[in-house]
Structure 1
């Protein structure tokens, strides 16, 4: 009998399995009797606004909600996205050709390489960067080339430092500001440089803007499509998961270049039948609410950021104050590797984090902490971390 392996080799190229490992570390901590404080996964701990829950509940009771919704999204949803985009970024979109609904941005980002690339193509990925970028390339057989993001450069890439031979090879590049995991931000001047580089070298610019509505201190992150004629060379992904606490409903959208969105739509027409109609109605309500009666969730996370960063500093851990997202990107104390610090912190104190090298080689030396617990729990976590830093011996 032939030896058959019922597992694709692609799975071995998907990258870090750290999220599964952290789940194992949590079980180990609980077995020791520790209460776990979940600062690892960026899953909102609060429900959506009552209005959004009501819209979703009412839609779920209607008999006409359960037909196949269509991959591109309902006309009403796409028109509302275009209306919101005009309100938020002063950018006009054609809802029929420049807007595509998604089951969250991760859905679009994971499938995009299959839709626009061929095996053997290459793409520039931010390092550190969100793991789904590399996973999508691995499944599509596309080579990932690192685009270094360095702390001394405010985690912005230097396009001039990318060798011409690399530009000649890559088909697209992915950017992400505000950034997960770095919480770095970028202004319009940066996006002008990014669009110029993409146009000069003939590559598609893919911008993951999932955290556009989660910035602090009055900051309003821009869209790459605000740059004149950017849609000729760029697309952008947005999410309702974090901004409106709709994570479990899986709703996002892509906007921009018509040809790219058409290719992604064609792929998804063969994979799924679109987002549940009730979810799209909740999304419409969320975007309309943001236009007419905004109640930004960013204030919740800004308050948590202030409390947690101050408490960590009082405990002796000097961490940076992020300007956006729901994450802290913190350098581990001297002598620790990212993985050892994250694992020992969790199994010794119950505080869960993600080691920085899970986001790429240049994430080594850092950990990511998510602001997805209440302020009292964050203060508890800070005290536990402080005791750990003062007493634990560095591990490798």
Structure 2
């Protein structure tokens, strides 16, 4: 006999880990970008660090060739094919003097973001705490939250103070933090460090039994002779942590989703355990093309940094002419720009960003989207060419001039 239908609406209940996620602060901006483009407006997109340049021709050609091989369409090993892991090891030795065992100390990831998130799932659980830099790249917080862990964010702008704050937190918090998440060159603030900083991190990690994840996404994009150091190049680093790198930036392979984890073999084993349940590895043709990129395109990666440096100078020179602070970074794909007065005192960072988009057709990321420490700043990406960046500056100038006139009426 059929049961009477209930008048109560069926309820979908999310997992608590999803309910703990903060609101997505870029939603308003993304909707306005979409609406403007639908209506025919030319929006200059400086919000997302989405590389606009293609990989080298030889890399694309190898992808096509490998994709035509029927053997490459089978499931692949979830830790990556051996030759690709060997190339990662070779790059670490050649560039940083670091020896990593490609069999046990390197793993291929579907982009560093996937690897980082699954590493958090492997290491964190209810009651566990991670220290993250503030302002923070959102996944550094969200991945911990999705793993049911807690986050303590510490100001990253002064490196010596950041180290002392880590020590103080470990001394005073109970239970002690379990994980330290680092990101240098830092996204979003573009703060950089030297090798001595990581030497001190290793000492702290050993003293407080603190595992370390270094997010080294911008390893290949640096300016004015600065060379970003690898966490793994500090003595004892492999005893306490791992490092994630990616081919998204310097190699222009963002959509290919090729990342790597290298370092502590026990942490990599834990990551492999999680990945074994979640995926079957990266498309093998992409891995073969990535080998070609790592072996043969060092000069192109260096040239890409010079391209980004030219874009940085075009944007920053223009903003300085408007009277803004010169905030040109030493590395990375972003300018972390303080909002000038009187705007900084007149409105929130989100409102300022919305004004630039609504009236100037320039999309930027409001600093508040990277946590409270980002209030008062804009993150502006360097993915557009130099002429488009100069055009963005002209739009900003007109927008703020018109806004000043309106305010005085």
TM-score, normalising length from structure 1? 0.94
Q: 1:19 to 1:60 in 2, by over 3 A?
A: farther
Q: Would you say 1:116 and 2:123 are equivalent positions?
A: yes
Alignment correspondent of 2:156: 149
Structure 1 residues 242-391: aligned runs within 5 Å: 242-290=249-297, 295-334=302-341, 335=345, 336-391=347-402
Residue 61 of structure 1, aligned match among 54, 60, 68: 68
Residue 105 of structure 2, aligned match among 98, 116, 133: 98
Is the contact between residue 170 and residue 176 of structure 2 (CA under 8 Å) also seen in structure 1? no
Q: CA deviation at 1:194?
A: 1.2
- Partner Cα distance (2:302, 2:202) in 1: 32
Q: CA deviation at 1:161?
A: 4.3
Give deviations 1:178-218, integer Å, cap 9, x for gaps.
01111111101111111111111111011000101101011
Q: RMSD of the alignment, in Å?
A: 2.1
Q: Would you say 1:240 and 2:240 are equivalent positions?
A: no
- Partner Cα distance (2:315, 2:375) in 1: 22
- Partner Cα distance (1:114, 1:285) in 2: 32
- Partner Cα distance (1:50, 1:155) in 2: 45
Q: 1:103 to 1:60 in 2, by over 3 A?
A: same
Give deviations 1:129-174, integer Å, cap 9, x for gaps.
1101111111111011112223x66995543443512374211010
Give deviations 1:67-107, integer Å, cap 9, x for gaps.
11111100111111111110011001100100000011100
- Partner Cα distance (2:256, 2:197) in 1: 33
- Partner Cα distance (2:159, 2:236) in 1: 27
Give deviations 1:263-317, integer Å, cap 9, x for gaps.
0000000000111111111211111124588644111100100111101111222
Is the contact between residue 69 and residue 273 of structure 1 (CA under 8 Å) also seen in structure 2? yes
Q: CA deviation at 1:109?
A: 1.3
TM-score, normalising length from structure 2? 0.91
SS of corresponding position for 1:132: helix
SS of corresponding position for 2:307: helix
- Partner Cα distance (1:375, 1:226) in 2: 35
Which consecutive residues of structure 2, in runs of 5 or more, have no partner in the other structure? 1-5
Structure 1 residues 67-78: aligned runs within 5 Å: 67-78=74-85
- Partner Cα distance (1:183, 1:83) in 2: 27
- Partner Cα distance (1:157, 1:350) in 2: 40
Name whichever of 64-73 and 295-304 sits farther off.
295-304
Is the contact between residue 154 and residue 184 of structure 1 (CA under 8 Å) also seen in structure 2? no
Q: CA deviation at 1:117?
A: 2.0
- Partner Cα distance (2:273, 2:237) in 1: 23
- Partner Cα distance (1:144, 1:68) in 2: 36
Is the contact between residue 122 and residue 169 of structure 1 (CA under 8 Å) also seen in structure 2? yes
- Partner Cα distance (2:14, 2:148) in 1: 16
- Partner Cα distance (1:243, 1:154) in 2: 29
SS of corresponding position for 2:266: helix
Which consecutive residues of structure 1, in runs of 5 or more, have no partner in the other structure? none
Query: How many pairs does the alignment contain?
Result: 394
Alignment correspondent of 1:11: 18
Residue 208 of structure 1, aligned match among 205, 215, 238: 215
Give deviations 1:228-255, integer Å, cap 9, x for gaps.
1210001100000111000001000000
- Partner Cα distance (2:94, 2:28) in 1: 42
Q: 1:295 to 1:285 in 2, by over 3 A?
A: farther
Q: Would you say 1:25 and 2:32 are equivalent positions?
A: yes
Q: CA deviation at 1:361?
A: 1.2
